[in-house]
Amino acid sequence: MAKVHVTTTVNGEPMEFLCEPHETMLDALRNSLGLTGSKEGCASGDCGACSITVDGRLICSCLMLAVEAEGHQIGTIEGMSHGETLHPLQQKFLEHAALQCGICTSGMLVASEALLKKNPDPTEEEIRFWLAGNLCRCTGYDKIVRAVQDAAAEMRETAR
């Protein structure tokens, strides 16, 4: 089958790529666009390591077809920091040792950023339920939750 031409925006940059009609957005990001920060842990939407945003909405890119990116705004982990300036979530993940192996970290950060955009002051329970779609096998989640709480507090402070 002929490949499909897709025009989209990734992390604010206009981008285009060719994909198979059945190809996932995750594969397009990783293989066609060279954005390997999004990871494949399950390909079934259970682990969240491939989390991206589409027009600001958090999704698993392994459950999205690449052709669906046409005309939409895609956000990935590669767009989270601004040059050498890390996003507060990235900085707090480092300070709190909220990552061990790091394979879930991209997805955790993208998901956490999406949470804080919706809810700048989440409770521990709200963080835990929001991140329930992001598996981490290393940390036991404790330090991840604390890093998100700390980043949220700092971002609220900065926004005041």
Partner 1 sequence: MNLVTNNKWIGQRTIRPDGVDKVTGRAAFAADTNMPGMIWGKVLRSPHPHARIKSIDTKKAEALPGVKAVVTSRDIVDFPIEKGAVMLGIQDMRWMCRNVMARDKVLFPGHPVAAVAATTEAIAAEACKLIEVDYEVLPFAIEIDDALKPDAPILHEFNKFEGKPSNICGKLEHKKGDIAEGFKKAEVVIERTFTTRPVHQGYIEPHACLISVAADGKATIWSSSQGQFMVRAMTAYLTGIPQSDIRAIPAEIGGGFGGKTIVYLEPLATLLAKKSGRPVKMVMTREEVMRATGPTSGSKMTVKIGATRDGKIVAAHGIFYLQAGAFPGSPIRGAAGCSFAPYDIPHALSEGFDVCSNRSKVAAYRAPGAPIGAFAVECVMDELASALKIDPLEFRLKNAAKEGTKAVHGPVFPRIGYIETLQAAKNHPHYKAPLGKFQGRGVASGFWFNAGGESSAQVNITEDGNVVVTTGHPDIGGSRAGIANICAELLGIDYRRVSVIIGDTQTVGFSNLTGGSRVLFASAMVVTQSAEKVIQTLRERAAKIWNIDPEAVKWENGAAHPVSPNAGQFEPLTLQELAEKAPSQGGPIGAGVQLNTQGAEGGFGTHICDVEVDVDLGIVRVIRYTTIQDVGRAIHPGYVEGQLQGGAVQGIGWALNEEYIYTKDGKVDNPGFLDYRMPVCSDMPMIDCELVEVPNPKHPQGVKGVGEVPLVPVMAAVANAVHNALRIRFYDLPLSPPRVSAALDAQVQRAAE
Which range in 2-10, 39-47, 65-73, 115-123 contacts partner 1 by CB under 8 A? 39-47
Torsion of CA 42, 44, 49, 52, to 10 degrees: 150
The reply to whether 24 sits near partner 1 by the rule CB under 8 A is no
Site string for partner 1, 64-93 (x = CB under 8 A): ------------xxx-xx----x---x--x
Q: How far is the CB of 35 from partner 1 (least distance, A)?
A: 7
Q: How far is the CB of 72 from partner 1 (least distance, A)?
A: 20
The reply to whether 30 sits near partner 1 by the rule CB under 8 A is yes
Map tokens 């909220």 to a residue. 98
> To which H or E segment does residue 82 belong?
none
CA–CA–CA angle 104, 13, 28 (5° rounding): 50
> To which H or E segment does residue 7 belong?
strand 4-10
Q: Contact with partner 1 (CB under 8 A): which of 26, 61, 75, 96? A: 96
